[in-house]
Amino acid sequence: GVLGGWGVGVLRDKYEFGGIGAPGNKWDTNMPMRAKQILNICTRLGTTAIKIGQALSIRGDILPAPYVKELSELQDRVKPFSTKTAKNIIEEELAASGAGSIKTVFRTITDEPVAAASIGQVFKAEMNDGTVVAIKVQRPDVIKD
């Protein structure tokens, strides 16, 4: 699975060459790299893993500093999902509600989200009547998480 390679790496770092503190042991050296890996894993796994990572990012009492530092990225810097996917979701929702399509409802929509979070992201748009609105788009498969 996704965590398997990371877990094996952590175990090797901890126990290889005689354990933590022994000459040649890579526990301290590799910890920043392993922390970055767990950040990427949380992001790839989706909403639930991101939420767990966010909760752990404030627990300096149970996690080493490199993990707290990396996981704190999940507080306000979650990677957005693709704009194409987001616009497809908007199109599907507009069609399902009978409102029309992006072109019939909005004059413009930003190409990139103005914000991204664990559950969704936000685009700025201007409706055809000139009203500026924020469009919140839920991450794909967020309910499945």
What is the dihedral sign for C-alpha 50, 55, 56, 60? positive
- Residues 6 or more apart whose CB falls under 8 angstroms from that of 68 comprise 56, 57, 58, 59, 60
pLDDT tens digits, 47-86: 888 889 999 999 999 999 999 999 998 887 777 889 999 9
Q: pTM to 2 decimals?
A: 0.62
Please check the confidence at residue 141 and state whether its pLDDT lies above 60. yes
CB 34 within 8 A of CB 6: yes
Inter-residue contact 12 to 19 (CB < 8 Å): no
Residue 137: closest CA among 123, 125, 118: 123
